[in-house]
């Protein structure tokens, strides 16, 4: 057990956003903890994300009269309280019964966009009903009519951006899930995809991942850039392409009309030999110039990491696991506490770097390995 004492309000005391991982480990069933924490294969890419972030140093500026910096920033042309969005993450009711609506409500209260996963365990309509900035993440289904229908549903529900994830032709081999024979419990399912081989995700078979079997039955493999062209033609919503690492793909995304790309290795959950996302960020930025916004995720664990991403030139970041850990620990209150910590950490980092706001942080110098 962790020796951090509970704080008032039922949220265990966390001194940093990163602290929620240890707290969550204490409350989650081991196989659920593993499903969230795990990467693919030997988890080299997972570890590489952290190692790469830790190697990026930022040169702080002095005597610039910064007292209480602003943290607000524009993402996809709209103002938000932080240069941060909640990453799309499947099946959030696995970690807490209040699931997606609780994390979305916390995001909205904190003034940051919440990205609904195609594989959310609450429908996009219910999540978006909370009213804050909500983006929809699309996994491409085998049935194109269902893709169309999902895009329409997201639009009707009030989502303000569409994020298509392109790094999942198949699910990366999540060996923790294979070893655990991981399957969804009966009360958690893909709420946006009723009847879509739901049985597969719930059928535990030792030595296999039921989630992987479900995904491979439902997701379309072998997509091409012409599919993204088709998608661009289906919606006027801002389009974000998530899962880019090669700068050439970033250019193709811009050519296809993407408004933003997310440089990501899916939190180390797809190709285990992939580089850290932040390692590729500078080349992607150079390749796309000002043709589209560039966000980054994979391994962001606190305000200092947001500063690193900004200093490298990103417009903002997606944060994944730390927010699920916080949801696991104390539901909505945990998510509120985590986002408040992240905002405070970013404010501290900006102050220490001598930046009055996130835009100024993008002018800071970085040294890799310095
Ligand atoms: C439990 C879990 C579920 C995820 N589900 C999705 C998903 O449904 N769609 C998607 O595009 N990415 C998904 N991701 C990837 C995240 O959006 C994000 O790229 C990644 O978690 C960022 O890394 P971080 O967790 O180190 O912050 C998932 C990640 C985790 C940990």
Tens digit of pLDDT for each residue in 161-188?
Answer: 999 999 999 999 999 999 999 999 999 9
Tens digit of pLDDT for each residue in 255-306?
Answer: 999 999 999 999 999 999 999 999 999 999 999 999 999 999 999 999 999 9
Q: Which of 166, 145, 146, 162 is nearest to 154 (CA)?
A: 162
Q: Considering only CA atoms, which residue is closest to atom 5 of ligand 1?
A: 89
The string over 195-216, giving b where at least 16 C-beta atoms fall within 10 Å of a residue's C-beta and e elsewhere, is ebebebbeeeeeeebbbbbbbe
Q: Which of 80, 96, 214, 266 is catalytic?
A: 266
At residue 128, the pLDDT reads: 97
pLDDT band at 2 (very low <50, low <70, confident <90, very high): very low
Tally the residues of the chain. Answer: 370
pLDDT at 1 over 50: no
pLDDT at 209 over 90: yes
Separation of 99 CA from ligand 1 center, angstroms?
Answer: 15
pLDDT > 90 fraction of the chain, expressed in percent and rounded: 95
Which residues, listed in sequence order, are joined to residue 295 by a DSSP beta bridge?
262, 316
At residue 194, the pLDDT reads: 87
Which element (helix H / strand E) includes 162?
strand 161-165
Separation of 103 CA from ligand 1 center, angstroms?
Answer: 14
pLDDT at 4 over 70: no
Mean pLDDT value across the chain = 96
Tens digit of pLDDT for each residue in 101-111?
Answer: 999 999 999 99
Torsion of CA 262, 298, 285, 368, to 10 degrees: 180
- CA-CA distance, 239 to 230, in Å (whole number)? 12
Tens digit of pLDDT for each residue in 304-357?
Answer: 999 999 999 999 999 999 999 999 999 999 999 999 999 999 999 999 999 999
Out of 37, 43, 88, 324, give the residue to mutate to test ligand 1, the one with the largest number of ligand atoms within 8 Å of its CB: 88
pLDDT at 153 over 50: yes
At residue 12, the pLDDT reads: 83
- Mean of the pLDDT values across residues 224-239? 98
Out of 24, 34, 89, give the residue to mutate to test ligand 1, the one with the largest number of ligand atoms within 8 Å of its CB: 89
At residue 195, the pLDDT reads: 82
In 3-state terms, what secondary structure has residue 129?
Answer: coil
- Mean of the pLDDT values across residues 130-155? 96
- Mean of the pLDDT values across residues 9-27? 93
Out of 33, 267, 316, 319, give the residue to mutate to test ligand 1, the one with the largest number of ligand atoms within 8 Å of its CB: 267
What is the C-alpha radius of gyration for the chain, rounded to an integer number of angstroms? Answer: 19
Is 266 labeled as catalytic in the residue annotation?
yes
pLDDT band at 231 (very low <50, low <70, confident <90, very high): very high
Q: Considering only CA atoms, which residue is closest to atom 11 of ligand 1?
A: 165
At residue 121, the pLDDT reads: 98
At residue 8, the pLDDT reads: 54
- CA-CA distance, 112 to 115, in Å (whole number)? 10
Separation of 266 CA from ligand 1 center, angstroms?
Answer: 6
Say if CB 287 and CB 263 are below 8 A apart. Answer: no
CB neighbours of 211 closer than 8 A, spacing ≥ 6?
A: 35, 90, 171, 174, 177, 182, 183, 184, 201
pLDDT band at 6 (very low <50, low <70, confident <90, very high): low
In 3-state terms, what secondary structure has residue 182?
Answer: coil
User: Can you name the CATH fold of 17-365?
Assistant: TIM Barrel (3.20.20)
Q: Which residues form the pocket of ligand 1, taking CB atoms under 6 Å from any ligand atom? A: 36, 87-90, 117, 119, 137, 165, 242, 264, 266-267, 269, 297-300, 318-321
């Amino acid at each position: 057990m962790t020796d951090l004492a509970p704080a008032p309000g039922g949220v265990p005391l966390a001194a940093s956003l990163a602290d929620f991982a240890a707290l969550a480990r204490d409350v989650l069933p081991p196989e659920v903890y593993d499903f969230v924490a795990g990467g693919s294969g030997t988890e080299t890419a997972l570890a590489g994300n952290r190692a790469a972030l830790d190697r990026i140093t930022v040169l702080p500026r002095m005597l610039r009269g910064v007292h209480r910096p602003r943290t607000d920033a524009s993402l996809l042309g709209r103002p938000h309280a932080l240069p941060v969005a909640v990453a799309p993450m499947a099946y959030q009711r696995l970690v807490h019964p209040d699931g997606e609506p609780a994390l979305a409500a916390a995001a909205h209260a904190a003034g940051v966009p919440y990205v609904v996963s195609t594989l959310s365990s609450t429908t996009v309509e219910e999540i978006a009903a909370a009213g804050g900035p909500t983006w929809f993440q699309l996994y491409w289904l085998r049935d194109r009519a269902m893709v169309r229908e999902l895009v329409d549903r997201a639009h009707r529900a009030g989502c303000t951006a569409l994020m298509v994830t392109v790094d999942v032709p198949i699910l990366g081999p999540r060996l923790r899930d294979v070893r655990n024979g991981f399957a969804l419990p009966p009360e958690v399912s893909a709420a946006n995809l009723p009847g879509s081989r739901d049985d597969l995700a719930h059928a535990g078979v030792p030595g296999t991942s039921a989630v992987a079997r479900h995904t491979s039955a439902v997701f379309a493999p072998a997509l091409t850039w012409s599919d993204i062209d088709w998608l661009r033609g289906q919606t006027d919503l801002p389009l974000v392409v998530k899962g880019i690492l090669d700068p050439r793909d970033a250019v193709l995304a811009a050519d296809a009309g993407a408004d933003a790309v997310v440089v990501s290795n899916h939190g180390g959950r797809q190709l285990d030999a992939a580089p850290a996302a932040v390692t590729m960020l500078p080349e992607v930025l150079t390749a796309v110039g000002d043709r589209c916004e560039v966000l980054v995720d994979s391994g962001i664990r606190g305000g200092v990491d947001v500063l690193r991403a900004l200093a490298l030139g990103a417009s903002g970041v997606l944060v994944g696991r730390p927010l699920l850990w916080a949801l696991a620990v104390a539901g909505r209150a945990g998510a509120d506490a985590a986002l408040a910590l992240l905002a405070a950490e970013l404010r501290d980092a900006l102050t220490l770097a001598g930046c009055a706001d996130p835009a100024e942080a993008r002018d800071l110098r970085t040294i890799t390995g310095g």
